Structure 1
Amino acid sequence: MRIRLMLAAAILTPALGVATPSFAQGQSEGYKFLSAVRDAKNNDVLEMLGRPGSNIINTRDVTSGEGALHIVIKRSDEVYLRFLLQKGADANLRDGKGNTPLLLAVTLGQTGMIPILTAAGANPNLANSAGETPLIRAVQRRDVGMIRVLLTEGADPDQADIMAGMSARDYAKQDGRNPVVTKLLADAPKKVKKAVSGPKF
């Protein structure tokens, strides 16, 4: 009876799509990498990134969509952030809600991470799924220092979100609880939109 059950299990396993050990191992490299980053297992991270042909640096968590950059920003780890960016991590990688590492850094009040990310190519005007930009978030936080840094890095004060159709300038004007923020955004110059080249008739 026991042999029959074992044979039945062996026959049903592939049919039910249960992963074989080697398949599971291959598919879980990204998971192992993100886990090592979460647990700050530096030797494991270095070993995995050092493998020839490794392309796991921009792996995204299957549940949250988070990448390694999101993980280290959440724990305020600037050293690890610089290391991952030097290893080729995408500074514009979005999580499941469309949040970029820069947007997450702003949300968590990590002002010092903004120039690190923009120096690595982070787009200061890349919005999430709701159309919220890093500057809109900074205005909502009424964080004067962060707003100044973002404007210096090229954030557009007039880029509107999707939910309310309002820009950072609009939110600052509507709020009014921090006169410095209101004035800062009122005085921010409009960004010149590049003309779209195309056929002329």
Structure 2
Amino acid sequence: MAIESKNTALVKYLLENEKYSKCIDLNTKNDEDEYPIITAFYANTVEIFRYLLEKGADANTKNKNGTSLLSLVIDRYNYNVKFINYLFDRHVNINEKDSSGNYPLIKAINKNDFDSVILLIKYGSDVNVVDKEGNSPLVYAIQKKSLSIVMHLIKNGANINFFIRNRNQPLTAALQNFNESFIKFIIDKGADLNYTDDKNKTPLFYAVRDRSEVIIKYLIDRGAK
């Protein structure tokens, strides 16, 4: 109740008064099957959120649906950046999948949330994770047509030739989603021009099917077959 009503003074009083604090476990669920730190986030109370973490609340806590605290923060539209910074300060598991098999970095990319992407990578997000669909962060960034995120991922080590059978390879995704200048950018960054997918098709095949003569010539001039 003190957390939901955003009563910071009462929360501190209860946790700092031995009479009450010895009866309180911040990592035990309440009657609503949620942890206090989750309740603090839902209540959008940054000060109590920070205080609970300082007093020992688990930064890797999950809500009753199995979604991690970090994923909840990323999912919220226009969240207060202090929430995510406090979690990073507590060494949150930044590469943990949620109950749906999604990673925080991929969630941020699918929201086209460049600021969160920068923060997540800064604190150690794996830029080459593979999600439940078999796709990498770079593929999603290309599909979202987010040039700034794509370039940031590549700058931080994203595998430009990532490929899983039956799934997208970055160059193929670029051919389907971006303009000529960006496709050239992907190629110049070292994309494999002659890989074959599960249908035994190459990038040149998709270029002939979907793109302009400029891209076809560009691929051939650089060795595509």
TM range (shorter): 0.7 to 0.9
CA distance in 1, matches of 2:159, 2:219: 19
The answer as to whether partners of 1:93 and 1:101 remain within 8 angstroms in 2 is: yes
Show CA shifts across 1:54-75 (max 9, x none): 2411121221x22121122122
For residue 152 of structure 1, the aligned residue among 185, 188, 195 is 188
After superposition, give the CA deviation of every residue in 1:9-40 in whole Å (9 maximum; x if it has no partner).
xxxxxxxxxxx739985651761110111213
Out of 167, 170, 177, the residue aligned to residue 205 of structure 2 is 170
CA distance in 2, matches of 1:153, 1:177: 20
Cα RMSD over matched residues? 2.4
2:95 to 31, 37, 58: 58
SS in 1 for 2:68: helix
Output the amino acid matched with 2:218: L
The CA deviation at 1:105 is: 0.7
- After superposition, the Cα gap between the structure-2 partners of 1:75 and 1:37, relative to the gap in structure 1 and judged at 3 Å, is same
Alignment of 1:115-126 (within 5 A): 115-126=151-162
Instruction: List aligned pairs for 1:98-113, cutoff 5 A.
Output: 98-113=134-149
1:179 is matched with which residue: 186, 203, 213?
A: 213
Distance of aligned partners of 1:97 and 1:129 in 2 relative to their CA distance in 1, 3 Å threshold: farther
Which residue identity lines up with residue 29 of structure 2 in the other structure?
Answer: P
Q: Any residues of structure 2 matched to 1:32-47 within 5 Å, and which?
A: 32-39=69-76, 40-47=79-86
- Indicate the residue corresponding to 1:189 in structure 2: 223
Aligned residues: 166
Contact 2:61–2:69 under 8 Å retained in 1: no
Displacement of 1:107 in angstroms is 1.0
The offset of 1:166, in angstroms, is 0.9
Q: Normalising to structure 2: TM-score of the pair? A: 0.66
Q: Which residue of 2 aligns with 1:7?
A: none
* CA distance in 2 between partners of 1:129 and 1:21 (Å): 42
Pairing 1:21–2:29 present:
yes
Alignment counterpart, residue 48 of structure 1, candidates 87, 94, 98? 87
Could you say if the C-alpha distance between residues 27 and 43 of structure 1 is closer, same or farther in structure 2, counting changes exceeding 3 Å? closer
The answer to whether the 8 Å contact 2:161/2:191 transfers is: yes
Instruction: Mark the runs of 5 or more structure 1 residues left unpaired by the alignment.
Output: 1-19, 191-201
Separation (CA, whole Å) in 2 of partners of 1:188 and 1:166: 18
Counterpart secondary structure, 1:127:
coil
Q: Which has the higher contact order (CA 8 A, sep 6+)?
A: 1
Instruction: After TM superposition, give the deviation of residue 129 of structure 1 in Å.
Output: 4.7
Report the CA distance between 1:170 and its aligned residue.
2.2
Contact 2:114/2:149 (8 A) holds in 1: yes
* Larger mean Cα displacement after TM superposition, 79-88 or 142-151: 142-151
CA distance in 2, matches of 1:77, 1:143: 21
